[in-house]
Amino acid sequence: MIITISGTPGSGKTAVARILAKKMGYELIKLNDFIDEHKLWSGKENGSKLVDVKKLKKAARKILQKGDLIVEGHLSHFLMADFCIVLRCDPSVLGRRLKKKRWPVRKVKENVEAELIDVILTEALENKNIKKLIELDTTNLSPEKSAEKIIRLIKKGRPHRENVIWLKKYEKHLK
CATH number at residue 154: 3.40.50.300
Confidence of residue 175 (pLDDT cuts 50, 70, 90): low
pLDDT of residue 108 exceeding 70, the answer is yes
pLDDT confidence of residue 41: 82
Overall pTM > 0.85: yes
Residues 93, 144: contact at Cβ < 8 Å?
Answer: no
Q: Indicate the pLDDT class of residue 44, thresholds 50, 70 and 90.
A: confident
Residues 6/31, Cβ–Cβ less than 8 Å: no
Nearest one of 111, 103, 116 to 173, comparing CA atoms: 116
Q: Which residues contact 45 (CB under 8 A, 6 or more apart)?
A: none
Give yes or no for residue 74 having a pLDDT over 80. Answer: yes
Burial degree of 140 (CB within 10 A; 0-12, 13-18, 19+): exposed
Task: Choose among 94, 95, 67, 97: nearest CA to 81.
Answer: 67
62 compared with 15, residue with greater pLDDT: 15
Q: Which of 14-23, 32-41, 78-87, 142-151 has the lowest mean pLDDT?
A: 32-41
Residue 63's domain comprises 2-174
Work out the average pLDDT over 77-97.
97
pLDDT at position 164, please? 87
**What is the amino acid identity at position 134?**
I
Separation of alpha carbons 1 and 158, rounded Å = 14
Q: Is the pLDDT of residue 29 over 70?
A: yes
SS3 category, 70: strand
Average pLDDT for the chain: 92
Per the structure, how many domains does the chain have?
1
CA nearest 104: which of 174, 48, 168, 41? 48
- Quote the percentage of the chain above a pLDDT of 70: 97
Q: What percent of the chain stands above pLDDT 90?
A: 79
pLDDT at 163: 84
Q: Is the dihedral of CA 162, 163, 167, 172 positive or negative?
A: negative
